[in-house]
Amino acid sequence: MSVSKVAKALRASRLRRNDRTWFERWISWYAGYCGAKYEQPIPVERDLVIGFLRKQKGMGKATWQRLQAARAIEF
């Protein structure tokens, strides 16, 4: 699924507004990490997700933020 399709699915979801906002941001950042463009499918592979989350940890992101990122990718 591409960033644009995820954004559309988020708008139609019953997630809280704040979660919808942050999930879209996390998906965009993850897609950038993977090198996927806005309309391209985002690869969701174990090693890529782990690498992305480790990078976030290295940047000082809190545990709850990395968990939110993982949940966004799972969505």
> pLDDT at position 39, please?
86
Rounded Cα distance, 54 and 9, in Å: 27
pTM score of the predicted model: 0.86
pLDDT, tens digit, 9 for 90 and up, residues 27-65: 999 999 999 887 889 999 999 999 999 999 999 999 999
Domain ranges of the chain: 3-74
> pLDDT at position 6, please?
84
For 1-75, strand residue ranges (E) read none
> pLDDT at position 4, please?
85
> pLDDT at position 48, please?
95
In 3D space, the residue among 5, 10, 63 whose CA is nearest the CA of residue 31 turns out to be 5
Q: Is the pLDDT of residue 2 over 90?
A: no
